[in-house]
Structure 1
């Protein structure tokens, strides 16, 4: 496959046993967008932040979409495989443990992280999904995890982009396939607010520190 490398920032903490926070930005973001967020989520982690390889009107994304909330699922598959291939090579280059990746994704970044959960259900040690949408359809019986990685999902009650019922169904799908899902709904729109960060930091502390 014609996989392309990805632009990234990697900050090592100097501990071979450390978990690595994998930061995945939203539409129009880049590999530096979520670096301040990582500092608020906890200490003692390596930080790896990627830039999506797709451009939408000059805005970086992790995969193409056909319209608002309508994903190009063929591209979701390709870009997910491309990203995982890159991560596996980068783990060797940078010296982090590929089995200790905790994805932290916002919006489009949360959706590519969700695609990793579905297509590579044993890869991630955990995932924080801010304002996620289910990235792939028709996959209810096609994946299962023995690892039972914990997943934190945060949705906004006033989010005009994501249907709350769809988010609940997505959480139920991940739970039914073996993930340990903690889903919260907060009084916010699609943008991140402090409550997202506070709750995610508490969840990370409970699961990875």
Structure 2
């Protein structure tokens, strides 16, 4: 069994389980108030041969870890989002090189889905596959032709008060308009993760 380590290298406190050289590297991003443990085992179960990396957000909001600052519910500090996106892109590149990994997979929930989504929006083909669970991108992103062909799954709740359904649909439509291979799976609840989402993620990454 591969050794699971806790590291502070490359700018984030993170948990890592090395996989075989050339195999995928899987980044798991927690929601607000979570940490590097929230989705680590889930990612390891989804991709047992991959290198698993789960960073802890470097922003504290009243003691809750996040990946970037906000000024209110659904109101992002755009300068800090840009900072966090650049920093995380460097972190991902460093870990991919260190582990001599192959394809890059990302999975994030809530705030973790938001930093993952912005990495897709702002960077050139940083992920090969991405799972956005209950994302909120409350702005119209600029076009990014590098998204063409990227496999993306969005999961969401139709009555989610944090990620309203029309905003989720707009993100799906944006990604589809950029040529991404994107699918959207709904459940009838709110911001909680439900079984049908887990099933959809397992099917997507199988």
For normalisation by structure 2, the TM-score amounts to 0.89
Match of 1:13 in 2: 19
- State how 1:12-51 maps to structure 2 within 5 Å: 12-14=18-20, 16-51=21-56
CA apart distance, 1:96: 2.5
Per-residue deviation, residues 29-64 of structure 1 (Å, max 9, x unmatched):
111111122144243222111111111111110000
1:117 maps to 120
1:204 to 2:205 alignment: yes
- Secondary structure of the corresponding residue to residue 12 of structure 2: coil
| Aligned positions, number | 197
Alignment of 1:1-209 (within 5 A): 5-14=11-20, 16-97=21-102, 100-134=103-137, 137-141=139-143, 143-145=144-146, 147-205=148-206
Question: Following TM superposition, where does structure 1 have runs of at least 4 consecutive aligned residues deviating by more than 6 angstroms?
Answer: none
**Cα offset for 1:17?**
2.4
Cα gap change, 1:191 to 1:146, in 2 (>3 Å): closer
Quote the Cα distance in structure 2 between the aligned partners of 1:32 and 1:103: 15
**What is residue 7 of structure 2 aligned with on the other side?**
none
Cα pair distance change 1:83/1:146, threshold 3 Å: closer
- Give me the CA root mean square deviation: 1.6
Structure 2 unpaired stretches of 5+: 1-9
- The Cα of 1:7 is off from its aligned counterpart by 0.8
Shift in CA distance, 93/33, structure 1 to aligned 2, threshold 3 Å:
same
Q: C-alpha separation between the residues in 1 aligned to 2:150 and 2:175?
A: 10
In 1, distance between residues paired with 2:16 and 2:125?
23
- Distance change (3 Å), C-alpha of 1:39 and 1:91: closer
Q: Which runs of 5+ in 1 are unaligned?
A: none
In 1: Cα distance, 2:64 partner to 2:170 partner = 29
The answer to whether the 8 A contact 1:105-1:113 is kept is: yes
SS in 2 for 1:114: helix
Higher deviation after alignment, 87-96 or 51-60? 87-96
Alpha-carbon distance in structure 1 between the residues aligned to 2:123 and 2:30: 20
